[in-house]
Amino acid sequence: MLTENDRVQQTVALLRAGRQERIGGLLTASHASLRDDFEVSAAELDLAVDTALAAGALGARNDRRRFGGCAIALVPTPAVASVTSAVGEAFAAHRYAEPVAFAAVPGPGVEQVG
């Protein structure tokens, strides 16, 4: 738990510094911790993370909030299509259900109004 808190603090500092491309390793370390330390991953999530990384993602992790969970990946814009395709192909090869993928663009975050 302390290592995850440290990763969150490091991520916040990198985001505030405008260095979002450097958080990939922290995302991937978080996935490894969730998988190994807390045992809250699944074969499909591990495959999605591993495949995204191999296909060009800067980092990836599971986000196990719902049944089955989902994976998030930090992907350079030019690599989004190839990473998405690679994950879909890997799922098909393992006879997993077709994954749903979408690109998200970060916003400015929350702020106090009034």
Q: Write the pLDDT tens digit of every residue in 6-19.
A: 999 999 999 899 89
Q: Catalogue all structural domains in the chain, each as residue range(s) with its CATH number.
A: 2-93 (3.30.70.890)
- Residue 68 has a pLDDT of 64
- Residue 96 has a pLDDT of 96
Contacts of 42 (CB under 8 A, 6+ apart): 62, 64, 68, 69
The H or E element containing residue 48 is: helix 43-54
- Residue 1 has a pLDDT of 65
- Residue 65 has a pLDDT of 61
- Residue 75 has a pLDDT of 95
Q: How many degrees, rounded to 5, is the angle at CA 72 between CA 33 and CA 47? A: 70
Q: Which two tokens stand for residue 80?
A: 């989004």
Residues in the chain with pLDDT values less than 70: 1, 65-68
- Residue 66 has a pLDDT of 54
pTM (two decimals): 0.85
From CA 100, how far away is CA 38, in angstroms rounded?
25
Q: Is 104 exposed, middle or buried (0-12, 13-18, 19+ CB in 10 A)?
A: exposed
Contacts of 80 (CB under 8 A, 6+ apart): 103
- Residue 49 has a pLDDT of 96
- Residue 3 has a pLDDT of 87
